[in-house]
Amino acid sequence: MRVLITLFVLCTSVAFAQNDGEKLFRKVDKSVVAIQHERAGGSGFIVDESGLIVTNGHVVSMMDVENPRDTARRITVILHNDKKYQARVIGFSLDPDVALLKIETTEPLDAVEIGNSDKVVTGQTCYAFGAPLGQKRTLTGGIISNTARTSLGTFTKVFQMDAIINPGNSGGPLFNAKGEVIGVNTYGGKAGMGFSIPIKYAMTLKEHFQKFGRFVRTDVPFFVSKAMPEEFAKVLGTPQGVYVDYIIPNSYSESIGLKNGDVIIEMDGKPSSGKSEEDYYEWNWDLQTKVVGEKIVFKILRKENGKWVEKTVSGILKEDEPAPQYGRQIGELKEISYPELGWGVQSITMGSYFIYNLPTDKGMRVSSVKSNGAVARAGINANDVIVKINDQEITDEETFQNVVDGILTEQKKFMSISTLRGNDKYFNVVKVSYYLKNRKVLIISNGAPEELAIFKRRLQLQGAKVTVSSTVESYADGDWDGVLLHGELAFSKKENAELLASLVEKKTVLGLIGKTPLLLVDGPESLKDSKITMDKDFSPKLIKLGFNYTGKDVESDGTLVTSTGFDRKTSRSFLEAFSASVARRTDPRD
């Protein structure tokens, strides 16, 4: 009898749970969306009937070190009824991993109800909703396993739950049993663990994105602090405040009066608790989400003559610098890259200065070095600090780029670089090779001026003689090693056929990006055998005609180089492949 009663109770509990899930699904289904673009897919949820949608930052970011604020160009939001809308990015952050999108619609949408993530407790029921593995409108249930996971290296604490989180769930909502959003699902871990960003953090970022277009953090630069567990506080004989572990010499925090070993017990009149990592994370969030330019007041305890004395220090909040090495502002520190030399450099922030133990905060830090590249062969290593190039002082990004561009444009054979490494000074000589020296390249374009300028600059820095035109007639004006077609070009059928036939005959390298591979329709039959790729929205026409479409981002087949041109990273890869083909080209008339 006891066994039967137990089974009845279990079955009844499951039935109630299923019923609760069904009700929740019906309530929130219209508020959850799928998100797609050529690079990735994810989920999101409507937070305003006008079409504002919250998702993860990594769902829309292109993760491009050269253009860290670059996002996918064509983001499609799919509603519950399969209606599709193009979305624009209002703002995004990679830590906390949150983005805000906007779609334009004449009909009001169903927005979610925002819950109170501060009231979430371990053991409560939760539901994750999204499009895992591309399967839309998928609901999974579980419990909150931990309300304050702080060991994952994230800027904020996160929820841990056992609701299943698969690729595609990213950016979807985590609901409580009432159907209120309590978190933004960000990724799944091993052993069935899932993690979600508490919704209160996402809503703060929403406000920042709408106001600034990005997450603006505040700080009193530059001091290092930490939590004060009970044992630590007892040893010191103080309350469990926030411990000032280290003040950076000559920093702003030192100038306002903070010192090593201070214990912050109040911030702007509010008690500062560091009794746990969770409390410390909350304190740090409060500090870094205030307003730049406003006054901040700390009440501290400082030990003087063996006794703890209460003091007050105050200052003006500054905007925090990117410090991706600490997990802060990941993806917000630009890298200036020169593939032709095999290196990338970044500005020196306070964070990188201390993390890498750099000898100075002036100059530029070498952030990446390609093995066997010209810079590597000259003996320059990652984290060396560039202070001079050809006897000109390097003080910032603009100076660095102007100097290096000038040297390459003038096709100088050598570049002298003064660097610092620890306490040592080095004088390095980089021998520059111009792979496209004396090569003539024609760019026919009516496309985006910004992208066109990048193409022209990169080719010139490799030594090419570049001519830019918007008409096909310019082809007759020179004997070209490479012809690059870019933009929304529309030649007559005759012009197009003659151009392509001539290029094939002369074995001139042809570069086609974005929509321009469609011009191959009027070309010689021999081009059908070449591997090609292009923007997938326009590829069906070529596939139908029997072209060898591969669908890759960039395809290079002999003297034909094609690309989807989906983003700046893809465009740079296309240009590298095009340049390599031009460099290898042998004129059949030679």
Q: Indicate whether 514 and 577 sit together in one domain.
A: yes
Domain presence at residue 273: yes
The DSSP H or E segment spanning 374 is: helix 374-377
Q: Is residue 6 part of a domain?
A: no
Domain co-membership, 74 together with 103: yes
Same domain, 347 and 463: no
Q: What is the CA radius of gyration of the chain?
A: 29
Active site residues: 58, 97, 170
Domain co-membership, 446 together with 341: no
Residue 324 lies in a domain: no
Amino acid at 50: S
Which residue reads 């021998």 in tokens? 431
Q: Of 184, 212, 240, which one is at a domain's C-terminal end?
A: 212
Are the C-beta atoms of residues 344 and 572 closer than 8 Å to each other? no
Query: Cβ(171)–Cβ(19) under 8 Å?
Result: no
Longest dimension (CA), the chain: 98
- Residues 81-110: tens digit of each pLDDT: 999 999 999 999 988 999 999 999 998 999
Where does residue 545 rank: exposed (0-12), middle (13-18), buried (19+ CB within 10 A)?
exposed
Which residues are within 8 A (CB) of 272 and not within 5 positions of it... i.e. 6 or more apart? 241, 242, 264, 265, 266, 283
Residue span of the structural domain in which 239 resides: 218-319
Task: Please indicate, yes or no, whether residues 412 and 457 belong to a single structural domain of this protein.
Answer: no
What are the tens digits of pLDDT across the range 482-500?
A: 999 999 888 888 999 999 9
- At 411, which CATH number? 2.30.42.10
Evaluate whether residue 9 is within a structural domain: no
The answer to the question of residue 330 being in a domain is no
For residue 48, give the H/E element and its range.
strand 41-48
Q: How far from chain centre, in Å, is Cα 386?
A: 26
The CATH number of residue 524's host domain is 3.40.50.880
Distances (CA, A) of 170 to 36, 98, 99, 300: 12, 10, 11, 41
Write down the pLDDT at residue 109: 96
Q: 409 and 517: one domain?
A: no
Q: Which of 206, 251, 221 is nearest to 321 (CA)?
A: 221
Q: What is the pLDDT of residue 293?
A: 97
Question: Do 419 and 492 sit in the same domain of this protein?
Answer: no
Same domain, 24 and 121: yes
* 3 within some domain: no
Give which of 240, 241, 259, 239 is closest to 249, Cα–Cα.
Answer: 259
CA distance 39 to 74: 10
Indicate if 505 and 527 belong to the same structural domain. Answer: yes
Check whether residue 196 and residue 67 sit in a common domain: yes
Contacts 24+ apart (CB under 8 A), 365-370: 366/419, 367/65, 367/335, 368/335, 368/337, 368/343, 368/344, 369/342, 369/343, 370/339, 370/342, 370/343
Residue 333 three-state SS: coil
pLDDT of residue 587: 57
**3-state SS, residue 207:** helix
437, 408 Cβ separation under 8 angstroms: no
CA neighbours closer than 13 Å in the CB half-sphere of residue 299: 12
Report how far residue 125's alpha carbon sits from residue 171's, in angstroms, rounded to the nearest whole number: 19
The per-residue pLDDT string of the chain (590 residues; one tens digit each, 9 = 90 and over) reads 444 333 333 343 344 445 678 889 999 999 999 999 877 889 999 999 999 999 999 999 988 878 888 888 889 999 999 999 999 999 999 889 999 999 999 989 999 999 999 999 999 999 999 988 777 778 989 999 999 998 887 889 999 999 888 888 899 999 999 999 999 999 876 667 899 999 999 999 999 999 999 999 999 988 999 999 999 999 999 999 999 999 988 889 999 999 999 999 999 999 999 999 999 999 999 999 999 999 999 999 999 999 999 999 999 999 987 765 554 555 567 889 998 899 999 999 877 887 788 999 899 999 999 998 999 999 999 999 999 999 999 999 999 999 999 999 999 999 999 999 999 999 999 999 999 999 999 999 998 898 999 999 999 999 999 999 999 888 988 899 999 999 988 888 899 999 999 999 999 999 999 899 999 998 898 888 899 999 888 889 889 989 999 999 999 998 999 999 888 889 999 999 999 999 998 754 44
| Residue at a domain's end among 431, 451, 476 | 431
Phi, psi of 150 (to 5 degrees): -120, 10
Partners of residue 386 on adjacent β-strands = 364, 419
Q: Which of 407, 431, 455 is the last residue of a domain?
A: 431
Tally the domains of the chain. 4
Domain CATH number, residue 121: 2.40.10.120
In a domain, residue 80? The reply is: yes
The first and second tokens of residue 520, run together, are 């191959």
CA distance 143 to 462: 58
Task: Tell me if 325 is assigned to some domain.
Answer: no
Read off the amino acid at residue 198. P
Shared-domain flag, residues 82 and 177: yes
**410 and 469 share one domain:** no
